[in-house]
Amino acid sequence: MLSYLANPARFMGFSAWAAPLFLIAALVLFAIGVPWGLFYSPADYQQGETVRIMYLHVPAAWFSMGVYAFMGAASFVSLVWRHVLADVAARARRRSALCSRACASPPARSGARRLGARGGNGMAG
């Protein structure tokens, strides 16, 4: 299957109908997962309600690191074998930048304030 999709014309034909299906599936799963993670999950016994920050921050951080690694591999393939689809994949930086921004968003950074931390050392005081 992968060698079949290595042809750019076949890949574009496959992605023309597969991308909307994956978008719909992602939106449905996102609509189910966000309320479950943010509203129905129990509070932690030490951190309380602020533990829910990690349900957004950790997946966004992992996804952005994964996209950067994938871009590196695609860039290597593009340089070594001059494959057209590797050039397209190597330009996936917008997706990774969005996840990096979500990881460093104000709600993700405000966890220390909610926990009562003061000063720059992260210690409560």
pLDDT in tens, 45-57: 888 888 888 887 8
Which distant-in-sequence residues (6+ apart) come within 8 Å of 80 by Cβ? Answer: none
What percentage of the chain reaches a pLDDT higher than 70?
A: 70
> How does 25-58 read in b/e, with b if 16+ C-beta sit within 10 Å?
eeeeeeeeeeeeeeeeeeeeeeeeebebbeebbe
Least confident stretch, 4-8, 15-19, 21-25: 4-8
Residue 17's pLDDT band, with cuts at 50, 70 and 90, is very high
pTM of the predicted structure, to 2 decimals: 0.59
- State yes or no: pLDDT of 77 exceeds 80: yes
Q: What was the pLDDT predicted at 109?
A: 52
- State yes or no: pLDDT of 120 exceeds 50: no
Q: Average pLDDT in the 60-68 region? A: 86
Q: Express each pLDDT in 85-101 by its tens digit.
A: 777 776 666 666 766 67
Q: Average pLDDT in the 10-35 region? A: 92
